[in-house]
Amino acid sequence: MTALVQELLNTFEQLTDSERLEFASEILKRIIHLDFPPLSDEDLILNAEGIFLELDQRESAHE
């Protein structure tokens, strides 16, 4: 991650909830037109694994 990206993320964390929503909405509007390469099967599996691990942690925290 570049220093500039890290700085943007740090600034994002300092925003109010409504400002975060506004910022995220604007980012989503802009990235919808980017031409992303298709994800490989390995990328999809790694992302799915990360999501399921996060869900397991959340479930464990609520038990």
Q: Kindly provide the b/e burial profile for residues 24-49, where b requires at least 16 CB atoms within 10 angstroms of the residue's own CB.
A: eeeeeeeeeeeeeeeeeeeeeeeeee
Please report the pLDDT score of residue 55 as a whole number: 92
- Indicate the domain borders of the chain: 3-61
Please report the pLDDT score of residue 36 as a whole number: 84
Helix (H, G, I), strand (E, B) or coil at 24: helix
Give the integer Cα–Cα distance in Å for 30 and 5.
Answer: 16
CB 12 within 8 A of CB 20: yes
Please report the pLDDT score of residue 22 as a whole number: 97
Residue 12: which residues within 8 A CB-CB, separation 6 or more?
Answer: 20, 23
Please report the pLDDT score of residue 39 as a whole number: 86
Please report the pLDDT score of residue 18 as a whole number: 97
* pLDDT tens, the chain, 63 aa long: 899 999 999 999 999 999 999 999 999 999 888 888 888 999 999 999 999 999 999 999 887
